[in-house]
Amino acid sequence: MVSPAIALAFVPFLVTLLIRYRHYLLLLYRAVLLRWLRQRLSGVPPEQRACQYVLAHAVPGDPRHVLRTFDRWCCRREHLSSVGPCKGRIVERLLRERAPRAVLELGTYCGYGSVLLAQGLPPGGRLYTVEMDPGHAAVAEKLIRLAGFDENTVELIVGPSEEVIPRLKEQHGLLKAEFVFMDHWKRCYLRDLRLLEAHDLLAEGATVLADNVIFPGAPRFLQYAKTCGKYRCKVHRASLECFRAIPDGVAELTYAGPR
């Protein structure tokens, strides 16, 4: 049995840990424990709860208001993973600079990134967005259409990215992507980047953005991007959505062509 003196000796250490990692503990509470509890009590998945809130409070046809409403839910009610306003400004700036006509998004989730990307498209631009979970895709479809984007502007493709990417040319008419945004499972970033290369889906000079490369992180993806010789790579430092004290970042890759 541990003596009281030894137990007391650990108190300063535990207090230091709690102070240092309090933001991560809060994230764990809001993103995992609170979501689980609310789902148990309501029987409604968190994505559907967020969707109901946005549908009730956002202005139809106003993409920016849809995004702000979603941010309000995530920061005040219940944390859901999204690009968020801080990293969203990075994405918006790069979209304006590149003005891509063909954009591919991997990981639609609730449609936040899709609305963000679609509002930055030049006239005649088209977004192809891929989501493996049918339930999440159904939520995203509602929010994308609420923001005012039809099927001619945003095509939502349901299926695992490793199955969808090889058939993008034949079945969906995406010949070359000029801008790619990755925001799905981080362990899939490298695999899917290589798939895009293998199927010749990246236009020369294409921009590839990858979210959450610092938290939770995508080290193998970053190592490949920096060492393979096919990309110029930089990381835009930012913070995790709704948690300014948790560092995160968006990787920007510029495709130089096969080597």
Burial class (CB in 10 A: 0-12, 13-18, 19+), 245: exposed
Which of 47, 141, 211, 252 is labelled catalytic? 211
Which of 131, 141, 192, 241 is labelled catalytic? 241
Confirm whether 211 is a catalytic residue. Answer: yes
In 124-231, where does DSSP find H-type helix? 134-146, 161-164, 168-172, 189-198, 219-227
- Looking at residue 122, its amino acid is P
Confirm whether 183 is a catalytic residue. Answer: yes
Distance, CA of 129 to CA of 111 (rounded, Å) = 9
Confirm whether 241 is a catalytic residue. Answer: yes
Distance, CA of 97 to CA of 183 (rounded, Å) = 21
Which of 212, 230, 248, 252 is labelled catalytic? 212
Q: Spell out the SS3 assignment of 96-137.
A: HHHCCCEEEEECCCCCHHHHHHHCCCCCCCEEEEEECCHHHH
Q: Is 18 left (phi over 0), alpha (psi -120 to 50) or beta?
A: alpha
Which of 47, 87, 131, 186 is labelled catalytic? 186
Distance, CA of 157 to CA of 168 (rounded, Å) = 10
Q: Which residues contact 215 (CB under 8 A, 6 or more apart)?
A: 240, 246, 247, 248
Which of 47, 105, 178, 183 is labelled catalytic? 183
Note whether 251 and 213 are within 8 A (CB): yes
How wide is the angle at C-alpha 93 spanned by C-alphas 136 and 57, nearest 5°? 45
Residues with a catalytic annotation lie at 183, 186, 211-212, 241
